[in-house]
């Protein structure tokens, strides 16, 4: 099959059949508009201690350096929204994306049959899959591929769907018809900006070094005292900017069994959270993205919430 439009249509149909929320295509090439934005963000120190953001600058901007001869970037969205809430409203809070099994593993597993389908349909295809694990500017590609626009909180929002989804990409040498880029529908709304307790959000920008997700996950040092009383109860990640976004009233529950949280986890009381031992941590978060912070990191976060800052995370 030699028609780029037909190929793209087949891939999108298969992606939806496999449970992906959305699938779009962008033409592979250098991200000219992103280059100065990324450079300025790094120069301003918005990455905090995330040194990896400073590495592989060229790779982040040019997919042909990751897949030589790449012609297309297939961007996909995978729903993780659930209306399920933790039972104790006073318990330390966990970001929704971390309720179930580590999304890196789950989404990559869901991509494999799509890649196999492409090879069955089109023969030898050079491609690589990325799930938030390599120097790929996934939000820029999602925007270019028509998946959604980057809101004022910089998360990608899809009209009629919201923003509770993971992004992933297939960079390939297959020529596919590109989609039209998404357009912005934030308007004059600034709920995410006003709701952020650490003032991390400016219109269409985030100071990563002030974001609660960064402070509770990426930061390995002690959490700065200036954020005491400003964590809003979050102990791993933060969903505030998404929770207040009007577009998320359209979010629908995911259908992924591996994202279903353990009843024991959701039922933990505040006292049980703060009294959590490493043995319990290992049992509750086996295969979870929360393992990234390790027990020492979670303990540091819990102690900070209680006003008894402990040592830095390992």
Find, among 130, 131, 129, 135, the residue nearest to 53 by Cα: 135
Find, among 309, 291, 312, the residue nearest to 94 by Cα: 291
Q: Which of 132, 173, 179, 303 is catalytic?
A: 132
Burial 156-181 (b: 16+ CB within 10 A, else e): bbbeebbbbbbbbbbbbbbbbebbee
132: annotated active-site residue:
yes
DSSP 46-77: TTTT-GGGGS-HHHHH-GGGTSTT--EEEEEE
Residues 6 or more apart in contact with residue 121 via CB below 8 angstroms: 1, 7, 10
Q: Tokens standing for 124?
A: 């030898």
Q: Tokens standing for 192?
A: 């995410």
Q: What is the longest distance spanned by two Cα atoms in the chain?
A: 64
Find, among 155, 182, 160, 305, the residue nearest to 241 by Cα: 155
Q: Are 101 and 262 in contact (CB under 8 A)?
A: no
Q: Are 237 and 212 in contact (CB under 8 A)?
A: yes
For residues 189 and 247, give the distance between their C-alpha atoms in angstroms, rounded to a whole number: 11
Q: Tokens standing for 154?
A: 């910089």
Residues constituting the chain: 314
Find, among 156, 206, 205, 161, the residue nearest to 184 by Cα: 156
Active site members: 132
């Amino acid at each position: 099959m030699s028609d780029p439009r037909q190929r793209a249509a087949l891939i999108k149909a298969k992606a939806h059949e496999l449970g992906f929320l959305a699938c779009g295509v962008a033409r592979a090439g250098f991200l000219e508009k992103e280059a100065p934005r990324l450079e300025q963000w790094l120069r301003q120190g918005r990455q905090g201690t995330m040194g990896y953001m400073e590495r592989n600058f060229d790779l982040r901007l040019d997919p042909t350096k990751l897949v030589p001869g790449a012609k297309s970037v297939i961007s996909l969205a995978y729903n993780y929204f659930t209306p399920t809430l933790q039972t104790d409203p006073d318990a330390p809070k966990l970001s929704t994306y971390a309720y179930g099994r580590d999304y890196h593993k789950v989404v990559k597993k869901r991509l494999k049959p799509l890649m196999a389908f492409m090879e069955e349909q089109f023969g030898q295809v050079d491609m690589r899959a990325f799930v938030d694990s390599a120097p790929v500017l996934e939000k820029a590609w999602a925007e270019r591929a028509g998946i959604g626009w980057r809101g004022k909180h910089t998360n990608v929002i899809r009209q009629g769907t919201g923003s509770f989804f993971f992004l992933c990409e297939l960079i390939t040498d297959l020529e596919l018809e590109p989609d039209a880029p998404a357009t912005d529908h934030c308007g004059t709304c600034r709920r995410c900006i006003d709701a952020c307790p650490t003032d991390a959000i400016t219109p269409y920008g985030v100071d990563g070094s002030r974001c609660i997700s960064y402070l509770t996950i990426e930061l390995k040092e002690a959490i700065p005292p200036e954020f005491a009383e400003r964590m809003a109860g979050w102990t791993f990640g933060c969903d505030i900017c998404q929770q207040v976004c009007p577009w998320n009233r359209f979010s629908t529950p995911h259908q992924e069994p591996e994202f279903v949280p353990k009843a024991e986890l959701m039922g933990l009381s505040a006292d049980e959270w703060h009294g959590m031992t490493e043995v319990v941590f290992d049992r509750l978060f086996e295969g979870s993205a929360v393992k990234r912070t390790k027990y020492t990191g979670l303990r540091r976060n819990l102690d900070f919430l209680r006003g008894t800052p402990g040592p830095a995370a390992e």
